[in-house]
Amino acid sequence: MAKVSSISLLFAFLLFSAVSLNVAVSQGEAAAGRRCQVVLRQSGCDLATCRRQCYQQYNGNGQCVAASGGLNPTYKCVCFYSC
């Protein structure tokens, strides 16, 4: 019987630790500030150029995002940065 209760306590401790860590990470992201986005180019996205331009202008992370669906989608350059 003692083994079952010690295993239960260990499980409860690990669960509590995981929840505490998740809350701390979430609060850290909130403290880091909001994330904003701006479209740098409406079509013809080149990933290397998009990333470089976004970093230079906004100190952010540029990504090519699908602007339209279908068989031949077009991609726009979107810059994600801290507001």
* Domain count of the fold of the chain: 1
Tell me, yes or no, whether 75 lies in a domain.
yes
Instruction: Please give the backbone phi and psi of residue 33, each rounded to the nearest 5 degrees, phi first.
Output: 110, 170
The model scores a pTM over 0.75 = no
d(CA 42, CA 4): 61
Tell me, yes or no, whether 19 lies in a domain.
no
Q: Which carries the bigger pLDDT value, residue 64 or residue 9?
A: 64
For residue 76, give its domain range.
Answer: 35-82
Decide: 55 and 62 in contact? Cβ < 8 Å. Answer: yes
pLDDT in tens, 61-81: 999 999 988 888 999 999 999
Tell me, yes or no, whether 26 lies in a domain.
no
pLDDT in tens, 10-24: 455 444 455 454 544
Strand partners, 76: 65
Tell me, yes or no, whether 17 lies in a domain.
no
Tell me, yes or no, whether 63 lies in a domain.
yes
Tell me, yes or no, whether 15 lies in a domain.
no
